Structure 1
Amino acid sequence: MTTEGDQPVPPGSRRPGGRTARTRAAVRDAVLTGLAEHGYPALTVEYVAEHSGVHKTTLYRRWGSLEGLVADALDLAGEDAWTPPDTGSLDGDLRALAREVVDSFSDPAVAAAPTAFVGAAFQSERAAEALRAFYTERFTRCEAVVERALARGDAPQGTDAGAVVRAVSAPLFLRLFVTREPLDAALADQSARATLAAVAAGAFAPPPDAG
């Protein structure tokens, strides 16, 4: 949950523009910079105040705590206009999704903040909830690639769109955040091919005797 003024504002609700929006964006940018430079353990409200130009008292009044600042930065990140790829085939769409994951984490400067968010989620339940909400919303957008495939007849009816889009990125996130192995385009394509084969085999559809 984030706050504007003194009133709580549920994530995803419409927020006012103008000065309030500019303040929130400045605070978000300061949080992202701090996470990228120092990681969650070393990030402080004082740092956010200094780098955002927003007084510490205001930060505490509006966001409550450092956890609230981090959670709101993730909430704001989820309000972008990103849309999933539309290549005309499920194969192409899955490859494009997988390659976006690789591209997003290939540049250390770009990857620093999202990596820090993941680290914060292991240390703060509120950050974990915000991260979960962010990826839930992002995966929901990605489901369109499977819905289009179902409409074309390129996937078995009943295929779980959410499971498919999670499956294509899961091996990549394993390498990024668990085994800490390098990623490249070939691994992205491999993950896409494996997911496509599982879709074709009906792995994400109900078994024939279900129900």
Structure 2
Amino acid sequence: MDEPANLPGLRPTGLPLLSVERLRDGASGWTVTRERFARPDHTVLVFETFTEPGQTAPSAERIADRSSDIATFIAKLRQRREVARAGQADRDAVVAARFPELQGGASVPSGPLGAIRLAFARCFAPWDLALPDADVAARRAGRVVDRAWTILYQFGATAEGEHLDLFAYSRMTNPRYRRLHEDGRVTDLTPLLSDPLCALPPEELRHLDGA
């Protein structure tokens, strides 16, 4: 029998494959691939992957029991996706309101380092935060302290062009250390104690720890 492509994550490895069954949920059109594996204790492990209509790569996977309700699981997946889409629409609206030129068809905001300013606004759209225009124009390091966030940033340049490095922290979530590139790319960086941007003063470390 054909074995589906190996997926990272939950898919069992090292267990004998007993059977593969492909199902289609009539209400949603999603395709379900159900694989049964033999455990060492002679029980059966059931692994399922779920693929949306029109897609070839699975959208979700799970370890399931043989009596699992596929329709209910797909309904929950679709609901989560709708919530995510609504959240993205809200974030897009915040960014568009801050940069009206985007609504007129511009790909980036007008002015210096438009792609960097746009990337920053998208990163913090749920809190409607943006880089100060004066700091961008002067390429001046600074900070944004608002909405429970402290965001430290500094400008720089390499052979690839200009960039902005930011270190952001909040009690609500994990710190973020990122580089926003002049071409709009965003890359995650590894915080280093030797990096002045990440060397927080004691009073801010106490704030981060919730003291």
| Shared fold, TM over 0.5 | no
Which has the greater radius of gyration? 2
Range class of TM-score, shorter chain? under 0.3
TM-score (norm 1): 0.22
Instruction: Judging by fraction of residues, say which structure has more strand.
Output: 2
Higher relative contact order, chain-length normalized (CA < 8 Å, sep 6+): 1
